[in-house]
Amino acid sequence: MQQTGSSTRSGKVAPPSGELASIVNQCYQCGKCSAGCPVAPEMDLLPHQMVRLAVMGDVDRIVQSKSIWLCLTCHTCGARCPNGIDVPALLDPIRHQILRGNIETREPQVPAFHNAFMKTVRRFGRVHELSLIGAYKMKTKTFFDDMKLGWEMFRRGKIHIMPHSSKRKAEVRELFNKSSMK
Amino acid sequence: MEISYYPGCTLTGSARELDESFRAAAGKLGLTLKELPDWTCCGASSAHMVDEFLETALPASDLMLAQQLGLDVVAPCAACHLRLKAAAIKIAQDEQLQAEFPFKGEIKVLSGLEMFADEDRVAKLRELTAKPLQGLRVVPYYGCLAVRPPEIVEPDDPENPMQMDRVLDALGAEVVDWPYKTDCCGGSLALTRTDMVLKLSRKLLDMAKLVEADAMVTFCPMCQANLDTRQEDISRETGSLYQIPVLYVTELMGVAFKDLRVRTWFGKHMVSPEKLLASKGLI
Ligand code: SF4
Ligand code: SF4
């Protein structure tokens, strides 16, 4: 199931292996993925460059890029690639290794958000938006961003004070215990 | 007809109006929705980012609930639908997962659009329309996860989907053709790179203005929240006024069916559609 195998240059993050590698290796650098990528203008490595680096086994440069966290997982690249290469499918296993290995990255607020999200799921079995936003803001010290918006949403009944937790939250906790997010 | 219902976290929080209007519209069509008992989070846009096992395990546990009920399951939220369907496919391909989650794949995972856009149901929507949405110019906005990845979501057409167009046409609205049906609004970075998201959302709103749409219509709660809540910021940044209502398709079904609850739903929007709809004599 793990799509990663042999070691990289730094030895910390493994390049794609197995089925994923055989798909990614089909890339002939046509650039269609980058042409349609909505965040390409903000990226320091373009999607087709990330694919090339992965083929070359140089994942370290992907790890150190902003792009790995700026990718929106919109799957536009994958839907259009003539070889069926989906960039987020390539990035996910690299992201997992970054988080597991506590490797320093650019744009750290993005993984901080996803971690906060998963922690509220582990706790309640469901996402409680207020706890999630609170945890994220504590972690990134961005307390005052979007305060007015938050209040307007609360006024409209879009944010609840109390979490709705699921009766099956113990089962969810079990699933987390079997994962890297124990 | 009975269908099991997976509302997902967003529909119990910031997208309450989608949950309520979805249930109302399904009821009108004679569909009985059975909420999955004690459903849990599908992992949404986060689980796949952090852990491969949880990416499948979280939605798989909900698939098991639907299997116990023996009913097809509908997930209105585009992200939930994708996660549930992706899990069903992964389980079918992986023996280890199968041993843990014996999901047989005999029940279908439906998107909200798929449920309503079925040919007979579109005909029924037309029949049920008591107040045709005449003169209301709308752009259908599908967003990403309603059409991609196409091999998982299986939309009618990933570049030019028509399901929502057909539903809106049945309700009597004037469906405006526009090029950004499936372009990304940036929703997944809404809190983490708001600056980038404002640019992407603005591009969509500008195009909606250019084609002189009265409103944008979507089925995705992340797109709706993103586009609806960010217009004030975009107006402030650009100095020009952005005030385009962003509606759920099922809310417009409520208008067409003269459902009195529409005002409660509209009260939850940042850009209220009430003035617009009143000016067209629709509410
Ligand atoms: S679209 Fe596909 S083949 Fe072309 S550069 Fe991108 S990944 Fe390579
Ligand atoms: S999935 Fe990521 S890399 Fe691919 S088009 Fe979207 S943002 Fe760009």
Give the residue from A76, A100, A124 where a domain finishes. A100
Tell me how many domains chain A contains: 2
Residues A23 and A96 in one domain: yes
Residues A116 and A79 in one domain: no
CATH 3.40.50.11810 fits B129-279, yes or no: yes
Residues A118 and A95 in one domain: no
Q: A79: Cβ below 6 Å to ligand 1? A: no
Q: How is chain B split into domains, by residue range?
A: 2-113, 129-279
Any domain includes A83? yes
Residues A94 and A145 in one domain: no
Q: A77: Cβ below 6 Å to ligand 2? A: yes
Per the CB < 8 A criterion, the answer to whether A38 and A76 are in contact is: yes
A8 to chain B, minimum CA–CA distance in Å? Answer: 20
Residues A93 and A133 in one domain: no
Q: What residues of chain A, 122 to 161, have a C-beta less than 8 Å from chain B?
A: 125-129, 133, 136, 145-146, 149, 152-153, 156-160
Residues A49 and A91 in one domain: yes
Any domain includes A96? yes
Q: How many CB atoms lie within 10 A of CB A145?
A: 12
Any domain includes A131? yes
Enclosing domain of residue A69:
18-100
Residues A160 and A130 in one domain: yes
For residue range A134-171, list pLDDT tens digits in order: 777 767 767 666 767 666 766 676 666 666 778 899 99
Q: Is A99 on the interface with B (CB under 8 A)?
A: yes
Any domain includes A72? yes
Residues A26 and A91 in one domain: yes
For residue range A55-105, list pLDDT tens digits in order: 999 999 999 999 999 999 999 999 999 999 999 999 999 999 999 999 999
Complex ipTM, two decimals? 0.94
* Test the B interface: residue of A2, A69, A74, A120 with most B CBs within 10 Å: A74
Q: Do B48 and A117 touch (CB under 8 A)?
A: no
Any domain includes A9? no
Any domain includes A13? no
* pLDDT, one tens digit for every residue, chain B (283 residues): 999 999 999 898 889 999 999 999 999 999 999 999 999 999 999 999 999 999 999 999 999 999 999 999 999 999 999 999 999 999 999 999 999 999 999 999 999 999 999 999 999 999 999 999 999 999 999 999 999 999 999 999 999 999 999 999 999 999 999 999 999 999 888 889 999 999 999 999 999 999 999 999 999 999 999 999 999 999 999 999 999 999 999 999 999 999 999 999 999 999 999 999 999 999 9
**CATH number of B2-113, picked from 2.60.40.420, 3.20.20.80, 1.20.1050.140, 2.130.10.30:** 1.20.1050.140
